[in-house]
Structure formats: structure tokens, C-alpha cells
A and B are shown apart, each in its own frame.
Chain A
Amino acid sequence: DIQMTQSPSSLSASVGDRVTITCRASQGISNYLAWYQQKPGKVPKLLIYGASTLQSGVPSRFSGSGSGTDFTLTISSLQPEDVATYFCHKYNSAPPLFSFGPGTKVDI
């Protein structure tokens, strides 16, 4: 089965900092990867799909990259409203199906 890991599990940064979150798959998943943002008490929100395609309406300070096993979510200039937990999500059909990473909590 493909295992999804994220690092770090949490981070604290300052407003304006560049923040990078990594997601790793134990086997290649091509670009079948999405990133979601979940603010406290809210439902998840799609940021990135296809590893690097920005969802409509998402600020351009968010970007995604990677393919195969290693993926990155970057926030180019952290804003106060970006405090949230970020999850990666694989959605290819290899087992375990459609699993999520454990999440990265971002604080300021």
C-alpha cells in the first residue's frame, strides 16, 4: 500500500515568511495529488489539484509542485488568514484508495 507522509507536522512562522510543506508518497502517484486547507472549525478547502494547478479563487501566494513521490505546497508570503492545517490527498486508484496525509499545522 502507498503511504502518505507530510513534513513538518507543525510549524510556526512570521507574517511575510515563505513557508514550504512537503508531502511524500511511498510509491509514485504521478500528479494525482491535491492540497487542502482547513481552518479551525471549518471544512477543508481545495487549494491545489493535479499537484500544481491552482483552484479558482485561491490566492496566487499558494503554489504546488512535484510529481511521482515528492510534492511541495508553498506559501510565498504567509498571511494571518493562512493559519490552518494543510492536508495532502492522493487520488489515484492504487491502494489505499484516496488517502490523506496526516496534516501540517501552520501557526503565526
Chain B
Amino acid sequence: EVQLVESGGGLVQPGRSLRLSCAASGFSFEDYAMHWVRQAPGKGLEWVSGISWNSVNLAYADSVKGRFTISRDNAKNSLDLQMNSLTAEDTAFYYCAKLRSKELSAAINYWGQGTLVTVSS
């Protein structure tokens, strides 16, 4: 069974940093691209960042480019999102998501349960 478990969310002050992690199990993690997708409470889905199976291709939404960094460790079956210079607009549930392919141009077929990031003073 595919499992994606996010951690690292919480309350953080504007301008500070936070690092999210996603522990993957139940599939061959090194064979699939991964995304981070966020959803503000009561709002729609917003794609944040993606990483190919071998970390060669990285992609970021314009809203987070230059502030967020995605990375993965295939040996540890883990996906990370380093978030710097956080603002209130970054407040959302952050979902770790597995794609159907090694590369980024694929649909998401599994989602984690999400971790809530709240940016507030």
C-alpha cells in the first residue's frame, strides 16, 4: 500500500523558515517523480513544486520560486521542501504527491494526508 506521510508543519512567524518532509513507503520511491501541492483552508489546489525521479528536473510555481527548495533522498525514501521567507499567503495544507511517471509531466496518483503550515505573528 502506498503511503505518504508529511511532517514539519506548524505555526511560524512571517519571514521565518520551515522544512517539510514526506516519508514514502509501499512503492519504489526512486522510480517516480514527486510534487508538493498546497491548499489554503477552504480554497482550491495550488501546485507548488516538483522533482523528477533522479532530481535532474526541478520545477517551482512562480509564487514560491527563489524561496522554496525541493529535494529528495532516494536512499531514504524521503522528499523535502525547504521554505524560506514565509508570508501569510503561504498558509495552507501542504500535500506530498506521487506522480505516475519518472518525469514531471504526469498525473498525481497518490496524495499524502497533508501537513498544515500557518504563517502568522
Mark A residues whose CB is within 8 Å of B: 32, 34, 36, 38, 43-46, 49-50, 55, 87, 89, 91-93, 96-103
User: In the complex the two chains form, what is the Cα distance from A55 to B104 in whole Å?
Assistant: 18
CB distance B50 to A43 under 8 Å?
no
CB distance A98 to B44 under 8 Å?
no
Q: Which residues of B contact A44 (CB under 8 A)?
A: 45, 95, 108, 111
CB distance from A37 to the nearest CB of B (A): 11
Provide 21 A-B residue pairs closer than 8 Å at the C-beta atoms, listed in order of the A residue. Answer: A34-B107, A34-B108, A36-B45, A43-B114, A44-B108, A46-B109, A49-B106, A50-B107, A89-B108, A91-B104, A91-B106, A93-B105, A96-B61, A97-B47, A97-B50, A97-B104, A98-B47, A98-B59, A100-B44, A100-B47, A103-B45
CB distance A46 to B108 under 8 Å?
yes
B3 an interface residue at 8 Å Cβ cutoff? Answer: no
Interface of A is mostly: loop
User: In the complex the two chains form, what is the Cα distance from A87 to B95 in whole Å?
Assistant: 15
Q: Which residues of A contact B109 (CB under 8 A)?
A: 46, 49, 55
CB distance A103 to B47 under 8 Å?
no
B100 an interface residue at 8 Å Cβ cutoff? Answer: yes
CB distance B107 to A89 under 8 Å?
yes
CB distance A98 to B95 under 8 Å?
no
CB distance B95 to A43 under 8 Å?
yes
Q: Which residues of A contact B62 (CB under 8 A)?
A: 96
User: In the complex the two chains form, what is the Cα distance from A36 to B95 in whole Å?
Assistant: 14
User: In the complex the two chains form, what is the Cα distance from A36 to B100 in whole Å?
Assistant: 14
CB distance B59 to A49 under 8 Å?
no
Q: Give 5 A-B pairs besides A44-B95, A97-B50, A100-B44 with Cβ atoms closer than 8 angstroms.
A: A44-B108, A49-B106, A89-B47, A91-B105, A97-B47
Most buried by B among A46, A55, A99: A46
- In residues 19-44 of chain B, which contact A (Cβ within 8 Å)? 35, 37, 44
CB distance B59 to A97 under 8 Å?
yes
Q: Which residues of A contact B107 (CB under 8 A)?
A: 34, 46, 49-50, 89, 91
Q: Which residues of B contact A43 (CB under 8 A)?
A: 95, 111-114
B45: contacting residue among A87, A92, A93, A97, CB under 8 A: A87
